[in-house]
Structure 1
Amino acid sequence: MMSVRRRRLRAKEGKNMHLVRRAEEKNCKVRKENDQKRKCVDKIFLFGIMALIFAGAAQSARGRTAKRRNAPEKIICRLVTKTKKI
């Protein structure tokens, strides 16, 4: 035979299960929405960095020196360290 305490607990669980389930579904929905937002932001950030790299690579106004100065690697370094030319 089950103890009274355990029986009460089980009864309580049965009563509240629908509430628990509803809360879990809501959490799942919210989590999915947040993930989508995060993905969107990540994509925008990625495109921004790529655009900067291409802009730097395309900027070859003064021959060889300009190309070397604006090499994609150096632009990334500048973005990361926020200092002058590396």
Structure 2
Amino acid sequence: MHPSLLLPFLILMIFALGINVPLGYMREASPKYSLSWFIYIHLSIPFIVALRTSAGFGWEVVPFSLGCAVAGQLLGGFLRRASRRS
């Protein structure tokens, strides 16, 4: 990766992770496979794609942004479960 693309790449990864933490938190409270559950999982995708394409990245960064999005969902769900335990 060219050094000039490192900062936009990191911004994209942080965005993919960060936007999915609150969505994962809300998803955890929704009934599994409900409409709201589905929406919370997929709502960030158009925004991540828009940021990815506006930064000039192609398909090669999709696995990384998808991994960060999944990590954000899992972290948000974990935080929701942890807040209910205390």
Tell me, yes or no, whether TM beats 0.5: no
- Shorter-chain TM band: 0.3 to 0.5
TM-score norm. by structure 2 comes to: 0.37
